[in-house]
Amino acid sequence: MRGRPELYTSYAQDTAFLNTRPKRAWTGALVAFALLVPFLVTDDLLVLLATGFVAAIGAIGLNIVTGYAGQVSLGHAFFLAIGAYTGAALSGDPDGRVIGFGVTSLPVWLLASGLVAGLAGLLVAPLAVRLRGLYLAIVTLGLVFLGEHVFREWTSLTGGPGIGRPAAVPELLGVRLDRPSAWFTGPQQLYLLMFVLLVVFGVLARNLVRSRIGRAFAAVRDRDLAAAVIGVDPTRYKVLAFAISSFYAGVAGSLLFAVNGFFDPGSFGLLLSVQYIAMVLIGGAGTISGAIMGALFITLLPRVTRELPEVLPFISADATGAVTVFQVEAVLYGLLIVVFLIVEPRGLVGIWARVRNYWRTWPFSY
Amino acid sequence: MSEFLQSLVRGLGTGSVYALLALGFVIIHKSTRVISFAQPAFMLAGAVLVAHLSPGVGFFLAVPVAALVIAALALGVERTVLRPMIGKPVFVVAIITIGVDVVVRVVTNAFIGLDVLPVGDPWGLTTVSLLGVEVQQRYLVMLATTVAVVVALFAFFRFSRTGLAMRAVAHDQEVALAQGIRVGSVFALSWALAGGLAALAGVFVATGAGVDQQLWVVALKALPAVILGGLDSLGGAVAGGLAVGVVESLVGTYQGDVAPWLGPNFALVAPYALMLVVLLVRPHGLFGAKEVERL
């Protein structure tokens, strides 16, 4: 098939990772650009981007269960919390005010957080597989409230509401990544770490969803009865989707606060779950790149709205005025979800696809 | 014993508020197959509206006016935001109602401010002696009003033409359409009913303590009530609401002695724990219709 790079003659070719030359070129350019960013922008923006990358890992997780397997979960904040506390407790100071075991090596607590959250997902799954659609959404919502209560009361682990505890310590091969080293500043290292982790987990997820398991998820999503008929066990794959999604949430949760270094149990409310749902829906449900775009969009949104008071003087920057930035932000979340679902259900990915198709046939596009 | 009875009345009082909210959820779900997560916002908006109206026109006039205004607001939301979404997956519509909820609530919060807003109800925290047990008047009022509203609603669904149309739509939308029922109007009406019920519930929640920005969380407790009763059962919604209220109140009274390891304030999340337990045993709720399909 020389000279016909886009003629596919097998299924494997069709589902291959980065299967066209433009895709490879663009992805390469994007990665190169992302690696250059830490040397171009200021540290506070790097911190924000690093947070966005971590959120993207979490959003990929939610997308696996909600976008691919079609099980609506409002309980993502609960699994993020489990990951955050596992990571923080494992790497915490053994002599500190709150529980800590002093295992500061990043790969160890990262995997442990993922596994503990994944186990929690497995425990919840028996409830989930018996319920469908909105029943499931409400039950997972209940999970968030129960989790909030537990984390509020378990002060020896969480430090209690309003006080909080130090987050996981990002230490790789004996180097504290959140502190400046000989070559880089702390935010630069954290940015690079989060970027590498996002690429790793993104590629893993992409490979998962184009495998047999991913196709089984989609079959269960589209019609679970039909899936059962063609030999896909819905129960098994729903449980699996929950476990994998919770694993991703755990990983993201443990990293999420490593950037800032401190967190309190109030962070894991319903709002966090809704933010992740918004990331998935605004980015585009059922796509990995969409989850990443959505996560970056939602994470960078506050940064943009904070600039609003300079442009629109009737918005006040603190909590005193009639219309505050915080209110604008909250309204924007709601409006964006509604507008995207009505106007562009495929999300940012859909917009990108339309732009791409327009230019692909340019100047004969219509 | 008197502690138990006080706790029971308190539970029935708050439970009747949950029942009102749960009825709204069930009415919307029965006609449109969607769970409206916008109910908390309508509840908050109702309470705030009464708080602003009652100094001018008096509490008892403010309540029906607020209920009507919020019903109109809910109807408007249905017409503008939800109507274009007919035929889309229920999950998508449910998420849209979350978006609506956030928007309405933030706008409403601007009218609350940072302080607690009194709704101007005549009961406050005064108590009355009932068969030798001191109970707060407002719980009795809540229970009585809810009973009246529920009776009126059931009569409406049972005996009126519109109620019959709504039942027909709940049963089968296409057949209802073929019988000449305007399904769109039924959708709008069910949203309006749910909005009015939520506003009424909001006023009751705000009696005694007043309205603050956190009031909306109460409305989410109607969700366990709905799930307990089954999403498609009006009677179940009432029973579920009362059950959730009573469980919450009893847990609040006794859990500190019986199971202190659950931590203080466990009562606030007890409805969710109850919901999980019930769903493990009966995935369709206590009164919900079983889906024929098996997996």
Mean pLDDT of A333-339: 78
Q: Which helix (H) or strand (E) holds A155?
A: helix A155-158
What residues contact residue A290 under an 8 Å CB cut-off, 6+ apart? A63, A67, A280, A283, A284, A346, A347, A348, A349
pLDDT at residue A317 in the model: 62
Residue in B closest to A148 by C-alpha: B269
Mark which residues 206-235 of B lie under 8 Å from A by CB. 220, 223-224, 226-227, 231
d(CA A247, CA A268): 17
pLDDT at residue A352 in the model: 86
Chain B residue numbers with beta carbons less than 8 Å from the beta carbon of A330 are 102, 105-106
Residue B51 has pLDDT above 50, yes or no: yes
CB-nearest to B98 from A143, A274, A319 is: A274
Mean pLDDT of B82-86: 81
B99-148: per-residue pLDDT in tens? 888 888 888 887 777 777 777 777 767 777 777 777 778 888 888 899 99
Mean pLDDT of A7-29: 83
Mean pLDDT of B56-83: 88
| Residue A82: pLDDT band with limits 50, 70, 90 | very high
Whether A130 sits inside 8 A of B279 (CB atoms) is yes
CB-nearest to B91 from A72, A138, A342 is: A72
Residue A134 has pLDDT above 90, yes or no: no
Mean pLDDT of A30-55: 88
Cis ω for the linkage preceding A363 (within 30 of 0): yes
A199-236: per-residue pLDDT in tens? 999 999 999 988 899 999 999 888 888 888 998 888 88
Mean pLDDT of A270-292: 86
Residue A116 has pLDDT above 90, yes or no: yes
CA of A223 vs chain B CAs: smallest distance (Å): 11
The full 3-state SS of B110-155, as one line of letters, equals HHHCCCCECCCCCCCCCEEEECCEEEEHHHHHHHHHHHHHHHHHHH
pLDDT at residue B295 in the model: 42
pLDDT at residue B71 in the model: 92
CB-nearest to B227 from A72, A138, A143 is: A138
How many C-alpha atoms does A95 have within 13 Å on its Cβ side? 0
- Chain mean pLDDT for chain A: 83
A196-207: per-residue pLDDT in tens? 999 999 999 999
Check: pTM over 0.90? Answer yes or no. no
Whether A134 sits inside 8 A of B91 (CB atoms) is yes
The pair of structure tokens assigned to A38 is 């830490």
Chain A residue numbers with beta carbons less than 8 Å from the beta carbon of B227 are 135, 138-139
Residue in A closest to B263 by C-alpha: A153
pLDDT at residue B293 in the model: 45
Mark which residues 235-274 of B lie under 8 Å from A by CB. 262-266, 268-269, 272-273
Q: Which helix (H) or strand (E) holds A176?
A: strand A175-176
pLDDT at residue B131 in the model: 72
Whether A274 sits inside 8 A of B102 (CB atoms) is yes
B231-269: per-residue pLDDT in tens? 778 888 889 899 889 988 888 888 777 777 777 777 778
Sign of dihedral through CA atoms B202, B203, B205, B209? positive
Percent of chain A with pLDDT over 90: 19
Residue B292 has pLDDT above 50, yes or no: no
Chain A residue numbers with beta carbons less than 8 Å from the beta carbon of B279 are 127, 130-131, 135, 139
Whether B231 sits inside 8 A of A135 (CB atoms) is yes
d(CA A298, CA A307): 15
- For B211, phi then psi, to 5°, come to -95, 130
pLDDT at residue A55 in the model: 92
Is residue B238 within 8 A of residue B150, CB to CB? The reply is yes
Triad A68, A242, B102: Cα angle to 5° = 75
- Choose among A102, A16, A127, A83: nearest CA to A272: A83
pLDDT at residue B282 in the model: 76
Residue A295 has pLDDT above 70, yes or no: yes
Using the Cβ of B78 and the Cβ atoms of chain A, whether some distance falls under 8 Å is answered with no
Mean pLDDT of A22-35: 88
Percent of chain B with pLDDT over 90: 16
Whether B102 sits inside 8 A of A330 (CB atoms) is yes
Whether B90 sits inside 8 A of A225 (CB atoms) is no
Least confident of A107-116, B130-139, B203-212: B130-139
Mean pLDDT of A277-295: 87
Whether A148 sits inside 8 A of B110 (CB atoms) is no
CB-nearest to B293 from A150, A225, A338 is: A225
- For A315, phi then psi, to 5°, come to -95, 125
